[in-house]
Every structure is written in structure tokens, then in C-alpha cells.
Chain A
């Protein structure tokens, strides 16, 4: 199941659905004939070409892990960014972009993997982890899955309804700026005690996937090592920014 063929070829893709996920985030479903599926956790390069020929390329993780030609990306607007405000605010159903991929063979979860998994996402870092949650459910995998999702406030969560309904994954929410009313944990950044409270299973050490802005990933990965996780079992994906 190595789906990394023909990555050097740009493929035309049409936006077939666009859904606002949060005030700053939007999901786009792209139909890219010839795409042929991706593994959960892989990303695509997305290329935009202006009428004067100017091009911009950015990487976006793929939220879907289906076998077909449709991929879902979920973009968070970076203030003053060049590409993300366009994808969140301007692009419409029927518009075209180009995609290349699937890319990356490291930060991936495969249905044949059976060990327990701990997923830790910050902000838009949920996207490749969502693909893993979906692939896990679609495959009927019995490997224990635990997701820790850090967001500023409840309204900033991507895929909140789907995560609430998901079976086969236990979700722990971390709110950094504003927690819901009556929430036991006060709003604040993810710290060692939050992670120490989580046991994925009784014995076996989990494989850990951490994804989000660089500063988040750096802090979480350091914390995981400090509380005794084996660095060799921690995979990280850094989205850039702070």
C-alpha cells in the first residue's frame, strides 16, 4: 500500500465543496482526477496560479484517507498570509487549483498497525490526525486510539461534531484561552500533568503523533520525552508559524 507514485505531476483539481469549520477555518473538498488515494497523515502541495503566471505553493495535510480521487483539506487563516486567506475567504465551489502528492511517508498511520496510538493536535494540526481517526474507524481497527486536541476555545475546534460522534477514539479537549462553562480544567496551555493523566492502555507504550504550529509541537514533544515517552516512538509534523 505504498501510494507515492507520480508525485512529480501536478494535477488539476476542482473545489467541489467548501464548508466553514470555525471563524478562521474552512474545509475544502477537491476533486483531482487521477489522484488515487492517500495514506492517513500524508499531505498535498497545493499550487495557485494568478492570471499573470505568478504561482504560490503551500503544503496542506489531507483530512481524508479514502481510496478515490477526492481529498479534503482544512485551512486555518494565517493573518497577513498570502495563500490561506484566499483559501478560507475567497475560493469558491467550481474554482480550480493544482495538487501534487500524496507526499510524506513518515507521519502516517496504516490500518495494519496494531499498537495503541496517542494523537496530539494543536489548532489546524488536527487535520492529519483526523485522517487517522477516520481511517481507524473505516477499517474497524481495534487498536486503542486516544486524541488530545488543543484549541483556543470551543468555537475554534475543527470537526467538533464529528469527533463527538466518533466511536473508537477517546477525545480529550484542552482549551487554552476559554473553556466551556463548568469545565473542570481551567483554560491554559497543554502541560505535563495533562499528558501524565493519559494512559492509552495498561501496558504497551503508544505510538505518538504530534502535529501543529512549530512552537506547540516543540513544547509537546519535549514534554513527552520529559515524562518518559520513548523519543523513537514520537513522530512530529510542524506546520510552521509560531
Chain B
């Protein structure tokens, strides 16, 4: 049972059933990351998926651009409690990328330029649930939001949508990534408020 805070009224608020518990709406696009913003040129950029056999699938910027590009409109939810509704992105579905990949493993570790990592079950990347996003609102994705390319997994807290993505490594077990080792939840479902471990 929560204690009441004397005199606190809060603000007149709209109910919105698109808002997970504990979240509030934001119109701007806050930036959160653990260190400086890496600046990666599209000339140097490369994305890889590596499987248990050591086989590595690689796409450079031109190869990624040559793939089927999706327009994606989704709500996004940050663990620091902001939710942004109806954000629009452009990118390549992970179904398209995984069409070429054979793996018997169920988990993925996402690796980013700058050293960030985050773990996700493979099921949460497939069937139209996740993308490598290179555009936001019709413009190239800005570096502070993860450009040139970031992972986009809108149904999980946004720390799972690794900015400055450089690769995915297939894993047999669900090992914790960067924030997951630093006190945050292994899975991160906003609707279940899976914030902390």
C-alpha cells in the first residue's frame, strides 16, 4: 500500500491506453546513453550477424540500402518513463536479414560501436517485430539517436534498441548485456514494468 504524499496533487492528465504503466507522454525525443556519442561514417559502417559455426554474414552501407526498406510507425517506451507515440522510422526488417542466416541458438547479443551490448531472445527480433533502422521521420537517423543505424525493437524498453548497431552474435544462453549487468531487467517488457533486475 503506497503512502500518500501530503499536498501532492499531480497534474491533470489524459488517459491513454497506449501508455504502459508508469510511463508519461513526451513530445520531444530525449537522448540517453552511457557515454559519448560515437560518430561512424557510412563508408566505414558495417553490420554483421555471426552464428555458432563462426559463419559471419556482412552488409556494408550500400548492401543494407539495397535491401527492401520498410516504413515503420510504432510507439516507443523508455525505461526512464517517457513514451513517444507514433514514431516513424525507415529500415530493414530483421526477417530480411535472417532469411540468409542458419542458427540453432535462441538468443542474440547485440553489439554496438562504442562497446554497448544488449541481449534479446531471437523470437523478439523476427516476425515483423524488429528492424535495423537508418531513417527517422523521413531523414537520415541522427548520430545522437543512434545513426547511421540502430536496432529498433519497439515492443521492449528502448535500451534494447541498441544505437550505433554493428552486429548480432547468436548465443546459446541468455547472457546479460551492458545495462542488464548494471541492474536492469533481462527482458524489459514495458507492459509488465520489467525495469530492474
Contacts and interface: CB of A to CB of B under 8 A. Distances in A.
B38 A231 contact: yes
Given A224-B36, A231-B35, A105 B144 contact: no
Interface stretch (B4-12, B58-66, B104-112): B4-12
A139 interface: no
Nearest to A214: B31
B183 A4 contact: yes
Interface string A1-42: 000100110101000000000000000000000000000000
A interface, over-half SS: mixed
A50 B80 CA distance: 21
Range of interface residues on A (Cβ < 8 Å)? 35 or more
Interface in B18-67: 22, 24, 30-38
B2 A49 contact: yes
A162 interface: no
A152 interface: no
A51 B9 CA distance: 7
Contact of A49 (B4, B36, B114): B4
A59 B80 contact: yes
Given A54-B13, A56-B10, A106-B182, A91 B34 contact: no
Interface of B: 2-11, 13, 22, 24, 30-38, 80-81, 114-115, 144, 178-179, 181-183, 196-197
Given A91-B7, A240-B30, 19 more contacts: A4-B197, A48-B8, A48-B10, A49-B3, A49-B4, A49-B8, A54-B9, A54-B10, A54-B13, A56-B8, A56-B24, A91-B5, A92-B6, A96-B4, A214-B32, A221-B35, A221-B36, A232-B35, A235-B35
